Amino acid sequence: MKKFIYLISPTKIKGNKFYRELHLVLKTKRVKFFQLRLKKITTENLLKISKKIKKIVKKNNVKFLINDNPLIAKKIGADGCHIGQKDMDYNKSRKILGKNKIIGITCHNSKKLALKAKRWEANYIAFGSFFKSSTKKSPFKANLATLQWAKKKINMPIVAIGGINGSNYKKILSNGANFIACSSYVWNNKKLDPVSAIRKFK
């Protein structure tokens, strides 16, 4: 089973049900990265949740990334972090995490930002939003032409994000993305439980 899913956490994590579901989802062997993306949360809570998740991802051999926060990533020994264009800059993040950790960068639909990320030697770039997403309202619209360009010109892993689900993901992968990012399709799916949702990605 090829691991091509970049799974992002739900926007809120409450109770132990989530941890059980996460373990079952990761056991399907489809997920390569898990990103913890929680806004408006105390550092103390973020640390507590991160530590619990770290045990689960480790057991399932999945890379654990923290969104926007290299300091927390370093503190809990995560595999790295993901930074947006308005977060801490790449060089500062790299200084905090050291050279062996993963740092991915949001590039929206911009070739210029992608080339910059390559110059910085980021570990991957993320383009989006490809489809309408209920997780994050994005003013940026990404297109398949950017994926095709990046595949040819930028020799680095590409993550596609934004409204990707069981019926449109193949189009994204066949146009050059190495990984598809998903969140609400797995965690907030009205028709499928998380494990059934993740199994739709074959």
State pLDDT tens for residues 141-189: 899 999 999 999 998 999 999 999 999 999 999 999 999 999 999 999 9
Number of alpha carbons in the 13 Å side-chain half-sphere of residue 119: 6
d(CA 185, CA 193): 10
Is the pTM above the cut of 0.85?
yes
Spatial CB neighbours of 10, under 8 Å, sequence gap ≥ 6: 18, 183, 184, 187, 188
135, pLDDT greater than 70: no
Query: What phi-psi label fits residue 199: left (phi over 0), alpha (psi between -120 and 50 degrees) or beta?
Result: alpha
Straight-line distance from the first to the last Cα atom of the chain, in angstroms, rounded to the nearest whole number: 8
Say yes or no to pLDDT of 134 above 70. no
Q: Which CATH superfamily is domain 5-199 in?
A: Aldolase class I (3.20.20.70)
AA identity, residue 5:
I
CA distances from 105 to 7, 47, 86, 133 (A): 16, 22, 11, 19
Chain mean pLDDT for the chain: 95
- The predicted-structure confidence for 43-64, as pLDDT tens digits, reads as follows 999 999 999 999 999 999 999 9
